[in-house]
Amino acid sequence: MADQRLIVVGGGLAGLMATIRIAEMGVPVDLFSVVPVKRSHSVCAQGGINAAVNWKGEGDTPWEHFDDSIYGGDFLANQPPVKAMCEAAPGIIFLLDRMGVTFNRTREGLLDFRRFGGTKHHRTAFAGATTGQQLLYALDEQVRRYEAADLVQKYEGWEFLSLILDETGRCRGLTALNQRTMQVHPFLGGAVMLATGGPGIIFGKSTNSQVNTGTAAGAAYQQGVCYANGEFIQVHPTAIPGEDKLRLISESVRGEGGRVWTYRDGKPWYFLEEWYPAYGNLVPRDIATRAIFKVVFELALGVNGEPMVYLDVTHIDKATLDRKLGGVLEIYEKFMGDDPRKIPMKIFPGMHYSMGGLWVDFDHMTNVPGLFAAGEVDYQYHGANRLGANSLLSCIYSGQIAGPTMVRFAHAQSANGHAQAAAEQETKRQEELFARLRKLDGPENVYVLAKELGEWMTANVTVIRDNQKLRETDNKILELMERWRSLGLHDQAGWANQELSFVRQLWNMLELARVITLGALRRDESRGAHYKPAFPDRDDVRFLKTTKARWTSDGPAFSYEDVDTSLITPRPRKYDTEKTAA
């Protein structure tokens, strides 16, 4: 099997890192992406990437990074892989540095590090305020190098449709849609990786890119891949609302000294600094988001009575702002018209990241043999809440370890099972599905249904969760699934038909929306980003467990798996006082 190609779906940081590692071992890769890989969602990450190198002499260690991550994630993450990631982090930064990432520098020419939320250390390496973009470009360039050496074949503008599973249940490849010809094609490989990112578009407007529909994960889930911790959705405290999306204002703004406030009795009130003196504006995202909700909705102290508070950098000198935060302030200026160097920014929380995702073992293989997952689409590293600047790290780390694991897996397999027959069968199934979709001529509009889904999910399955509303939301999703059957297709073209693609994607989004909503309904506690006022405390006895959802024709079937807490004993998570020692 040594001559077999491997398949990677998704050209963000995780997919590209895996591709590089596989190609470096001399194994050819087919790389699929719905957009040219250089336009993947990783470009949106602004603030930086964590690694405890202790270059500011603060006594930082990988263990401290590990403890911050586990504590920040409210103890829901399996600990050994998180520890391994934090230990690998300095090496990853050095690798990126060698690849030519334009990290900010100190006077001595060394990498500079800034502070981020949920830690007391300067641990975050950064390239201006477009770190994700800079990292993605570095990996994109390395992949291009392997492309020039004929080890990587890119399929850009191809959409993942489904897994090809042989009669033994092993994943042998995938079917994909050519987004121009609208034809379905099968591709076989020794192993398949999904590195397809998060599901933000399920929430309608989020900080995610338009490509982050979650459709690939939703399709895999319907073919028997377990989805874990779906209910853990991170809402970023500082975004700017727009008609088309919510635009992120990076946590690095607070890392560089930005302060959050609103008016109370006619005077600025720095509520995060007052409520959380130990961490101030750099509390983790779930904490900051709930504080802003409290200020705006409970205390009715939003700016001008509207749902927004100030994020203020006007006290920081312009040169520092331009050097360290230029890219993010530029976004605010371009979209809002005000110069944040002079006028405090107006911000409000927005859906940002899914801690949950496809269940994987410590080697990043899903419960389906031969199918791997890495990056935001897996669930491994962030527990109940992700710390800022850990996502770029987990993407690269998971791609880095999953790539070689895939090679080893593919080499160890014998040629049992009939891949070719499975491929033909799966291609036929997908072609028949598209033939049915092309005949849709009902009254419903697919983009209207998606908007309704987004509004319901944002209102009821983000910051504050209530069991009655979660039940109503699931009923709404079922209603949307019913109405999906009465969709009408406006576009009958057999060329570059985005509407037809999206009809199929929306179904997968609806399936995942149920996993997220019902997972939240069943979890009667508050932990990290999952907050139920009716159950305000963390309940380790019942819920120190990974949620696992498996698709059935009657909706998701849930089971719960113990979390590996073998390294750090769970303790209460508080940010008003200093973190106690692990």
Of positions 84, 99, 437, 481, contacts another protein by CB under 8 A = 99
Task: For residue 202, state whether it binds another protein (rule: CB under 8 A).
Answer: no
CA distance 527 to 532: 9
Of positions 94, 270, 558, 560, contacts another protein by CB under 8 A = 94
- Tell which residue, 48, 83, 53, 56, has the closest CA to residue 69: 83
Q: How far is the CB of 242 from another protein (least distance, A)?
A: 6
Q: How far is the CB of 95 from another protein (least distance, A)?
A: 6
Type of residue at 295: V
Type of residue at 187: F
Task: For residue 128, state whether it binds another protein (rule: CB under 8 A).
Answer: yes
Give per-residue burial for 530-561: e unless 16+ CB within 10 Å, then b: bbbeebeebebeebbbbbbbbbeeeebebeee
> What dihedral do alpha carbons 309, 314, 319, 322 form, nearest 10°?
20
Report in angstroms the alpha-carbon separations of 197 from 148, 373, 398, 463, 467. Answer: 26, 10, 13, 21, 28
Query: Is residue 372 helix, strand or coil?
Result: strand
Of positions 103, 271, 434, 551, contacts another protein by CB under 8 A = 103
CA distance 272 to 263: 13
Give the H or E element holding residue 458. Answer: helix 446-460
Query: Is residue 193 helix, strand or coil?
Result: strand
Query: Could you give phi then psi for residue 58, rounded to 5 degrees?
Result: -100, 5
Task: For residue 451, state whether it binds another protein (rule: CB under 8 A).
Answer: yes
Which position has the token pair 């979390």?
563
Helices of type H across 337-418? 391-412
Task: For residue 87, state whether it binds another protein (rule: CB under 8 A).
Answer: no
Per-residue x/- mask for another protein, residues 387 to 416, rule CB under 8 A? -------------x----------------
Of positions 412, 436, 439, 495, contacts another protein by CB under 8 A = 495
Stretch that binds another protein, among 204-212, 299-307, 310-318, 534-542 (CB under 8 A): 204-212
What DSSP string runs through 90-150?
Answer: HHHHHHHHHTT----B-TTSSBPEEE-TT-SSEEEE-STT-HHHHHHHHHHHHHHHHHHTT
Of positions 117, 173, 327, 528, contacts another protein by CB under 8 A = 327
Query: Could you give phi then psi for residue 581, rounded to 5 degrees?
Result: -65, 150
Q: How far is the CB of 125 from another protein (least distance, A)?
A: 11
Task: For residue 318, state whether it binds another protein (rule: CB under 8 A).
Answer: no
514 is catalytic: no
Determine the Cα angle at 414 with ends 410 and 420, to 5°: 85
Which is closer to another protein, CB of 244 or CB of 265? 244
Task: For residue 105, state whether it binds another protein (rule: CB under 8 A).
Answer: yes
Of positions 490, 534, 539, 576, contacts another protein by CB under 8 A = 490
Which position has the token pair 């530029």?
330
Which is closer to another protein, CB of 41 or CB of 364? 41
- Tell which residue, 325, 293, 300, 309, has the closest CA to residue 240: 309
Of positions 278, 493, 534, 557, contacts another protein by CB under 8 A = 493
Of positions 331, 355, 360, 461, contacts another protein by CB under 8 A = 331
Q: How far is the CB of 432 from another protein (least distance, A)?
A: 24
Stretch that binds another protein, among 57-65, 132-140, 273-281, 557-565 (CB under 8 A): 132-140
Task: For residue 58, state whether it binds another protein (rule: CB under 8 A).
Answer: no
Of positions 6, 14, 19, 41, contacts another protein by CB under 8 A = 41
Q: How far is the CB of 226 from another protein (least distance, A)?
A: 29
CA distance 129 to 254: 12
Give the H or E element holding residue 354. Answer: strand 345-354
Of positions 19, 50, 119, 130, contacts another protein by CB under 8 A = 130
The residues in 509-548 that bind another protein, with binding defined as CB under 8 A, are none
Which is closer to another protein, CB of 205 or CB of 386? 205
How many residues sit close enough to another protein to count as binding (CB under 8 A)?
A: 70
Task: For residue 247, state whether it binds another protein (rule: CB under 8 A).
Answer: yes
Stretch that binds another protein, among 242-250, 255-263, 406-414, 471-479 (CB under 8 A): 242-250
Maximum alpha-carbon separation in the chain: 74
> What dihedral do alpha carbons 220, 221, 223, 225 form, nearest 10°?
90
Of positions 59, 91, 169, 277, contacts another protein by CB under 8 A = 91
Task: For residue 98, state whether it binds another protein (rule: CB under 8 A).
Answer: yes
Report in angstroms the alpha-carbon separations of 214 from 10, 159, 392, 421. Answer: 12, 12, 18, 28
Task: For residue 44, state whether it binds another protein (rule: CB under 8 A).
Answer: yes
CA distance 531 to 538: 9
Q: Given 285, 290, 386, 465, which residue is catalytic?
A: 285
Task: For residue 243, state whether it binds another protein (rule: CB under 8 A).
Answer: yes
Which is closer to another protein, CB of 247 or CB of 259? 247
The residues in 289-308 that bind another protein, with binding defined as CB under 8 A, are none
CA distance 81 to 95: 20
Task: For residue 40, state whether it binds another protein (rule: CB under 8 A).
Answer: yes
Which tokens sit at 27?
Answer: 């194994």
Task: For residue 144, state whether it binds another protein (rule: CB under 8 A).
Answer: yes
Active site residues: 285
Rule CB under 8 A: which residues touch another protein? Answer: 20-21, 24, 35-36, 38-41, 43-44, 91, 94-95, 97-100, 102-111, 127-128, 130, 133-134, 137, 141-142, 144-145, 147-148, 156, 180, 209-211, 241-245, 247-248, 323, 327, 331, 334-335, 337, 400, 445, 447-448, 451, 490-491, 493, 495-496, 498-499
